[in-house]
Amino acid sequence: MANEKEDVTRREFLRTGLCGAGVAVLGSAVGLLARRASAGSTLWQIDPDKCVQCGRCANECVLGVSAVKCVHAYAMCGYCDRCTGFFEPEPAAFDTGAENQLCPVGAIKRSFIEDPYYEYIIDDNLCYGCGKCVKGCEKFGNGSLFLQIRQDLCVKCNQCAIALACPGQAIIRVPADRPYLLKNRGETS
């Protein structure tokens, strides 16, 4: 009989322990989901009006190839002859030769429209967010090129590594339903 009472106590102990562990796991899961839901309501993005084109976006992102890409605000810049985001400040010639281009990987493509106009398009597959074209566009042009974190490429870090390294404090949280900041407007879309 003493043995039987001991077995019941052991069973009750195990049952209570398993229930307690289940409650702890359930509580942890609910807490994790709540944190993800609150973090999911905002995303990291670059404020183009604060960006200083330091080049750190290319190297500080946790991804092998940065989720930061150059964006062209076509509403600010129509077709042009000489894009200062495409060409070196003093190119040898105004052609597509690599020695004449600002972009170290040739991510900006130039296509002829009509004399003397060209369209400049960023190849997202080549762009890695170094910001050289943006710096050239800001310095000599109208500032229609700017950097943005591509949300389809971003791994949604809890603390963005680029934000920690950004000297201009340009990496900010934006609402998830409006993940991209527009140039010179301070609004999101």
Q: Has residue 33 been placed in a domain?
A: yes
What is the span of the domain harbouring residue 113? 42-175
Q: Has residue 189 been placed in a domain?
A: no
Q: Has residue 114 been placed in a domain?
A: yes
Mean pLDDT over each residue of the chain, to the nearest integer: 84
Burial class from Cβ neighbours inside 10 Å (0-12, 13-18, 19+) for residue 102 reads buried
Same domain? 151 vs 60: yes
Residue keyed to tokens 């009006």: 49
Enter the pTM of the model. 0.73
Q: Has residue 132 been placed in a domain?
A: yes
Same domain? 59 vs 13: no
pLDDT tens for residues 133-157?
A: 999 998 888 889 999 999 999 999 8
What tokens does 148 get? Answer: 């943005």
Q: Has residue 187 been placed in a domain?
A: no
Residue from 134, 142, 144 nearest 68 by CA: 134
* Total structural domains within the chain: 2
Q: Has residue 22 been placed in a domain?
A: yes
Amino acid letter, residue 162 = I
